[in-house]
Chains A and B, each alone.
Chain A
Amino acid sequence: MIDFINSIVVLLNFVIIPGLSYGSQLALGALGVTFVYAVLRFANFAHGELMSFGAMITILFTWFFQSQNIGLGILPTALIALPFGILATIVLGLLSDKFVFKYYRKQKSVPVVLAMVSIGVMFVVNAIIRIVLGTETIKFSDGQKFIVKAKQFKSITGLNEGLALKSSQVITILITILLLTFTFWFLQKTKTGKSMRAFSDNEDLALLSGINPDRVVFITWLIVGTLACVAGTLYGLDKSYKPIIYLNLVLPVFASAIVGGIGSPFGAVVGGYVIAFSEIMVTYAYKKFFKYLLPESLEPSSLVQLLSTDYKFAVSFTILVIVLLIRPSGIFRGKVL
């Protein structure tokens, strides 16, 4: 029995908790991509940089608060700085829309052109971030790092295996639950949310029924900016902030959105967790897990690892390709909000 609990703890520590927090970050990012896709109708390659930008502003404000000795005690200071980051990200989104995307929307350009345009925006934002922060790795999490340390867990429960719970992981999961609840409540229950859904479902019909398109676009950027900034900051808190990483994060984020069914918010969330868990589960070495479960004679000699961790990144794409081949519209048949 104790072996069984030990094996579960191993799995929790190395697969489930990291998977949940990484999945939450991907889900928030994918939700942003899906919103842009459903309402503005293009694949926004600049979304990763939007996340990075939000995290950057949050970092700058965190530094400011730290220098003023304002903090939250055991919680990271970044939480107070987060609203400022969100505000700045929303402003950036609205500016990029006003000066760049709006023109092509009015022209009714094809989605590919808009995707190209978003690459231009990506370059510009990327340059701004690099000019401001450079390319070094930045750690900005402070406060208490662990809620439960592996050693404490061992001494409390008397198990062989420790369970480490980082505060950043708990914060990530809590904030994600909060944001997702709010977003879905907004979409389903409020009048504005309903008008957004109508707009994404059938633009002409929505216009005929008197929905103001500019307002819908404005609200979309509010939501997208918030989601992007929170996702970027949480990722930076959990791992560490490095400007280049967000460019690589764009691809798993897109994969999550497409796997879940692009345009479907629920699909984006599910897709985020699917991608995160498969990345971690395929590359995790299960040796320790089986050591507890199996009798000694059957113990595996190798690492019991499907793929080496080097291919973590490739996993999300293989899943993307498979899903696109078997079920091109994604798990939840996306297209509309």
Chain B
Amino acid sequence: MRFDKYEWTAISIMVSLFILVGFIQGWSVSLVILNMCIISAIMTMGVNISWGYAGVINFGVMGFLAMGGLAAVLVSYPPIKEAWQVGGSGLGISFILLIVLVIAVFFITKLVEKKSHKYWLNSLVILFGLIIIRYFFLNATAKIEEVDPALAGFLGGANLPIIFSWVVGGFFAGGVAFVIGKVALGLRSDYLAIVTLGISEIVVSVLKHEEWLSRGVKNVIGLKRPVPYEINLQNAEWFINMVTWFNSSKLNNIIDPDTKQEVLNNLIIDGSGIFVKLNYALLFFIVMIVIYYFANKAQISPWGRMMRAIRDNEVSANAMGKDIVKQHLIIFVIGAAIVGVAGAMLVTLDGLFTPSGYRPLRFTFIIWIMVIVGGSGNNLGAIFGGFVIWFAWIEVAPLTTFLIEIFTSGMDPQNAIRLHLLDSVPYFRYLLMGMVLLLILRYRPKGIIPEKVRHS
């Protein structure tokens, strides 16, 4: 991982931006942005692996993120025993029936020779199978959703540390991606874009409405944390000592013991928040570096070179004996799994799971803008894109407010246009994102940090 001068400049600009925000808006704000930037960078790397390495388009980012989020809930939430008691057997029966149905369809496809017979028989079996399964399933889920609906009403999870969910989330998203890939990967790229976009909407609408699984629009709150809670820190001896030691020069200047205690308390409260965010940042950073390391290794490995060959010339790669369909599926699943990891991390950071919060504009298209802006095919570019775009996404609002204040300073403060503009400050970020995407695609189509083609 040797960076050239250009890449070092990009990195140092980003670092100094965070330091600048730290000094102007406070370190807490800076760290909040940093955490989301790292998660965005991981999502971006996931998309970059399928799009940048192999040219497989994946507009289902939102759906894979939601699957990761579901994993965070299912791994960390304590199981709700009552719900399992009333509905567990029904769910089990419907699950077994589903497997039987799948096996039946499989055998019909294998054994029946005539094509038209096959279609009819299969449709008939699936129809009847689904009617039977539906009966058991709806009974069970209705019972589950009746269990303490205000607080529970779903099955709960496995009560494990939430950090495991980062791996599980990857598997969940990868599993869904496998199914999608099996169905859709043969399509032309623009069809594939629309289909993946649509399937991700289906995934989210399932999570929204299957309350027995994810609590749906009632949201799951109060998920466990992988890092300490602020309130525990504030009472911990070692933490108080650490804050005192850090600020010893400042504290020693204050003579009055009452004011000193007050200042110290404020410092501890501020410090605990920052400490928690730093912990998150550290964990996320480790994940990012690990993924970055392996993504880079994979890119320069023979497998990565094969991927590039498939991307650049599918026909000749096929002629060299590479199984394109299989490789496309593999890379689609890997990319989606990384996005799933990011999804689980996102829910971990928020501590809550809100299925209705998953919207394509925010969770699919913005991620794509990050990839295009950063530089598709280059992992550092992807990370950089994630950082820059998320940073801009957040910091545009104060900046536009500032600009509008300047431009309308001549107007009466109650002027309707001025007030309307100030009201619509949050929407200027969409304008900026669109403009950035258009400009980059026009003048720097390979992104800010373009892909390095290694000739070896």
Contacts and interface: CB of A to CB of B under 8 A. Distances in A.
Interface of A: 42-43, 100, 103, 111-113, 115-117, 119-128, 130-131, 134, 247, 251, 254-255, 258, 308, 310-311, 313-314, 316-318, 320-321, 324-325, 328
Contacts of B424: 130-131, 134
A320 B201 CA distance: 13
B205 interface: yes
Contacts of B190: 42-43, 111-112, 115
Nearest to B57: A112
Contact of A310 (B201, B208, B428, B430): B208
Contacts of A122: 365, 434
Contact of A131 (B195, B208, B361, B427): B427
Interface in B422-438: 423-424, 427-435, 437-438
* Of listed A100, A120, A134, A316, residue having the most chain B CB within 10 A: A120
B433 A123 contact: yes
A112 B194 contact: no
A247 B195 CA distance: 15
A321 B438 contact: no
B79 interface: no
- Most A-side CB within 10 Å, residue of B193, B198, B209, B360: B198
B435 A111 contact: no
Interface residues of B, number: 42
Given A131-B431, A317-B202, 5 more contacts: A42-B190, A115-B193, A121-B434, A254-B194, A313-B201
B425 to A, nearest CB: 9
A321 B198 contact: yes
B430 A119 contact: no
Contact of A258 (B57, B194, B206, B433): B194
A130 to B, nearest CB: 4
A110 B28 CA distance: 44
7 contacts: A43-B190, A112-B57, A115-B190, A121-B438, A127-B432, A127-B434, A308-B209
Contacts of A324: 184, 187, 191, 195
A123 B428 CA distance: 10
A259 to B, nearest CB: 11
B183 interface: yes
Contact of B361 (A247, A313, A317): A247
Contacts of A126: 361, 430, 434
B11 to A, nearest CB: 26
B198 A127 contact: no
B452 interface: no
Contact of A103 (B191, B435, B442): B442
Contact of B423 (A115, A134, A258, A320): A134
Nearest to A126: B430
B365 A321 contact: no
Contacts of A117: 437-438, 441
Contacts of A317: 195, 198-199, 201-202
A125 B369 CA distance: 16
Contacts of A42: 190
Interface string B431-456: 11111011001100100000000000
B372 interface: yes
A119 B195 contact: no
10 tightest A-B CB contacts, nearest first: A123-B434, A127-B431, A124-B434, A127-B430, A317-B198, A130-B427, A120-B437, A120-B438, A310-B209, A43-B190
B331 interface: no
A46 B191 CA distance: 16
B137 interface: no
Given A43-B194, A112-B57, A117-B441, A321 B434 contact: no
A313 B368 CA distance: 23
A313 B205 contact: yes
Contacts of B205: 310-311, 313-314
A124 B194 contact: no
B37 interface: no
B375 to A, nearest CB: 14
Contacts of B183: 321, 325
Contact of B434 (A120, A308, A313): A120
A112 B360 contact: no
B197 interface: yes
A135 to B, nearest CB: 8
Given A127-B431, A321-B184, A324-B187, A119 B194 contact: no
A247 B427 contact: no
Contacts of B429: 127
B248 interface: no
B318 interface: no
B189 interface: yes
A128 B431 contact: yes
B368 A258 contact: no
Contacts of B438: 100, 117, 120-121, 124
A320 B198 CA distance: 9
